[in-house]
Structure 1
């Protein structure tokens, strides 16, 4: 089997339509021979880990960020661009081992929204950030009734997550959400932004503020990482080898390509998204983000209206789920899905949204993204099991925008203090079931 590495010439996403001046940047013509910390990956996980390592640090470490392709060309630039947790996720919550609860998870995500807003404002990032509400819509009556029962029970039990959620019944669901055939809907808090612009502009700030401490290298895939007797690591790349005292794997779906024990633990899976543009902006503007559950025989799409009136929408997984090799354990984001699958986006807004029938909305782009799926549905954060001086945050199961930022802060603290997950997670509110460990590897070994 080929090594799990980002492939050349990936499909072009809407989020990558305005390349940043750092897209192909290298701080130095050659790789540094040594450094304090190497971060592998320049998406949300890698750049925010660097931010927290360097930010408010009187003696910042020497950090090298390695990117296999162009800046932020992986999942961060291929997702839906919004941060939320679906009500169905809360309703079906299975925390696994540990003491963290569904309310801890809700508080964690709400905290990430607050922190994203804070960074955007403090660093003056122009990334179309919006605090919003979101709709979780059911088109299947039985599913809507089931969710309402769970919601009512959770509300009666005093679960905190229900305090920011709201239920809309069938009488008004279609009118309020504009979704044809809506049987019910829930609302909750969300935020949205242009993920690529957030990451690229934040990196630009870091390079300007820490020019002596930070070195960024694009088109430099790490091909393997080996440990030295002195406890340091050798990061082998296509352009040479760097010796680092510490390593952070911000590699999401590609993690098993560098840490073999994560084969069958973090599995690359392909997904599909699109950008749809009406002939003229539709008024009133769609001001909420969406998850639309089309029923048990199909699945759920996610939708993020942009400030300019265009729409980013992804999903359609039921159209290719039976063709397992086309998506499971597949890290090729250069090959589109079959035309019959991509047709899902044709006329999408006209079919599903009231008031869009005469919009002339057309598909602008369709692209592929690679997600990191884990057997228990949660990311792996902390020290790489069984290895000194290496840490990781990866395996976000398609929900990275709602999970990464505080996990990155935790990993940065671990690296600075030479500690493990259990030493910092509680103080930052990171759910304990995010922690990676030998036990989790054993529990998930060979399980899809």
Structure 2
């Protein structure tokens, strides 16, 4: 299946998160882009916004004057109206799922390091929100992973127990607790029919507000923002010189950070078979009377990941108010519905039709709450909004972070988050910014690369070897028949344990 290069479509479905647009929605610093810039960031979603944040933070730590560095952020659309404005707002790390498969592919230490990295991100979001005084409804709670299929539950349990045996301190530090008793699982989570589950710290926020306010703060520090300014191409006529062509003019830059995720192949066609746009769907729901204050069982307290079988998962966050907990909007954000459309590959794989809903997903969401949650008021169906969005899936299921080996020095990539960017992106942005700054400043790149590799999970690193890999694990990961999927047999599991 050879993907074609895709670009965003007009007249897209409208998500919950865009009902309150920021004043900088259509901001342009000037009618024409500057002819020169020190660093150009492409994309204004969570990756682009956090890259800008960490860039100015790094400059401040070094005692540099941020206004002496010319940084330009280019966005093809309105500010932050791509995938970030269409996701579930869920900062839920992987705690153990896939541990054995990742141990097989990358080694037990690398598999554990990646999970530790994800678990650190709730603290990262908290730190950014507090430092920058962002009003984005960040709420820290716990997440439940709940399994409904016996075989899938068994695989989840084996992942949990394998990581716990090999890395007990990491599991304790992350406060991951399994629930083996079905009645106890229902009592704790409020979810009916679960066979096995676990819970651990997680959080949620209003992603659009997080990003737009974060970018606004960087503009105050000198960032130049150009919305509705698509990058048409990147040309590198000589060493250390890159030309960024846009309809508003051409920028000559020394360092470029590309954060375009599902649309990366538009700028980097050599990655057309490595990062694939995948269509997903999300909705917002008004809580039933049974799940509002003063009723029983009352408001939701936790977030959820609910798995029917491989690939078929749903997730849910319960908003806790607007600005202050318990005050204002308390919508439920529910995403997934994959069981409705996974068998129809053309509905989601290499599909960017954000202007259309996926057939059958509204009906799925309308029945979901009463089907899954104990005590949900019968007959209550209130899908307020439903929308689609484009995720960037990498063919090996892991993000590509680092300097592009296919281009001259100075072009960096942070993309391919495979629908799981919230608990990965800020840490990746912090790392890539230091690498881009080192290149701009002409410092020792070997030592900068070594420091970069120290802070990121090894499987995330963008290497020529990863780009040369021919396998595509996406279909198998999504439970699609005939797709490749990394699995671990009991014998291989024993081998992985022996490698510790």
TM-score, reference length from structure 2: 0.84
Q: Which residue of 2 aligns with 1:328?
A: 349
| 1:359 shift after superposition | 7.6
Is 2:56–2:221's contact at 8 Å kept on the other side of the alignment? no
C-alpha distance after superposition, 1:392-444 (max 9, x if no partner): 100000001011001101111001111378423344x3101111111110014
Once residues 145 and 94 of structure 2 are traced to their aligned partners in structure 1, the CA distance between those partners, rounded to angstroms, is 6
| 1:153 shift after superposition | 3.7
SS of match in other structure, 1:242: strand
Q: Which residue of 1 aligns with 2:362?
A: 342
Once residues 247 and 99 of structure 1 are traced to their aligned partners in structure 2, the CA distance between those partners, rounded to angstroms, is 34
Is 2:5–2:272's contact at 8 Å kept on the other side of the alignment? no
- Name whichever of 137-146 and 13-22 sits farther off: 137-146
Once residues 99 and 460 of structure 2 are traced to their aligned partners in structure 1, the CA distance between those partners, rounded to angstroms, is 19
Q: Which residue of 1 aligns with 2:230?
A: 221
Segments of 5+ residues of structure 2 without an aligned counterpart are 322-329, 440-444, 475-500
Are residues 332 and 237 of structure 1, via their aligned partners in 2, closer, same or farther at CA, if it must alter by over 3 Å?
A: farther
Q: Which residue of 2 aligns with 1:237?
A: 246
SS of match in other structure, 2:140: strand
Within the candidate set 404, 411, 420, 1:399 is matched to: 420
Q: Is 2:309 aligned against 1:282?
A: no
Are residues 51 and 243 of structure 1, via their aligned partners in 2, closer, same or farther at CA, if it must alter by over 3 Å?
A: same
SS of match in other structure, 1:222: coil
Once residues 383 and 158 of structure 2 are traced to their aligned partners in structure 1, the CA distance between those partners, rounded to angstroms, is 38
Within the candidate set 125, 130, 144, 2:153 is matched to: 144
Is 1:91–1:147's contact at 8 Å kept on the other side of the alignment? no
- Name whichever of 362-371 and 54-63 sits farther off: 54-63
Once residues 92 and 19 of structure 1 are traced to their aligned partners in structure 2, the CA distance between those partners, rounded to angstroms, is 43
Q: Is 2:408 aligned against 1:408?
A: no
Q: Which residue of 2 aligns with 1:192?
A: 204
Is 1:132–1:287's contact at 8 Å kept on the other side of the alignment? yes
C-alpha distance after superposition, 1:209-264 (max 9, x if no partner): 32xxx210111111211112243111122333222121110110111111111011
Q: Which residue of 2 aligns with 1:443?
A: 469
Once residues 450 and 333 of structure 2 are traced to their aligned partners in structure 1, the CA distance between those partners, rounded to angstroms, is 39
Once residues 228 and 167 of structure 2 are traced to their aligned partners in structure 1, the CA distance between those partners, rounded to angstroms, is 50
TM-score, reference length from structure 1: 0.93
Within the candidate set 188, 193, 197, 1:176 is matched to: 188
Once residues 41 and 275 of structure 1 are traced to their aligned partners in structure 2, the CA distance between those partners, rounded to angstroms, is 26
**Which residues of 2 match residues 115-154 of structure 1 at below 5 A?**
115-154=124-163
Is 1:282–1:359's contact at 8 Å kept on the other side of the alignment? no
Once residues 92 and 445 of structure 1 are traced to their aligned partners in structure 2, the CA distance between those partners, rounded to angstroms, is 19
SS of match in other structure, 2:102: coil
| 1:133 shift after superposition | 0.6
Segments of 5+ residues of structure 1 without an aligned counterpart are none
**Which residues of 2 match residues 302-321 of structure 1 at below 5 A?**
302-308=315-321, 309-321=330-342
Q: Which residue of 1 aligns with 2:87?
A: 79
| 1:445 shift after superposition | 6.3
| 1:30 shift after superposition | 1.8
Once residues 473 and 353 of structure 2 are traced to their aligned partners in structure 1, the CA distance between those partners, rounded to angstroms, is 22
Once residues 447 and 138 of structure 1 are traced to their aligned partners in structure 2, the CA distance between those partners, rounded to angstroms, is 22
Q: Which residue of 1 aligns with 2:377?
A: 357
Is 1:98–1:433's contact at 8 Å kept on the other side of the alignment? no
Is 1:37–1:62's contact at 8 Å kept on the other side of the alignment? yes
**Which residues of 2 match residues 360-371 of structure 1 at below 5 A?**
360-371=380-391
| 1:282 shift after superposition | 1.6
SS of match in other structure, 2:353: coil
Aligned-CA RMSD value: 2.1
Equivalent residues, number: 442
Is 1:291–1:301's contact at 8 Å kept on the other side of the alignment? yes
Within the candidate set 178, 198, 201, 1:167 is matched to: 178
Q: Which residue of 2 aligns with 1:425?
A: 452
**Which residues of 2 match residues 375-386 of structure 1 at below 5 A?**
375-386=395-406
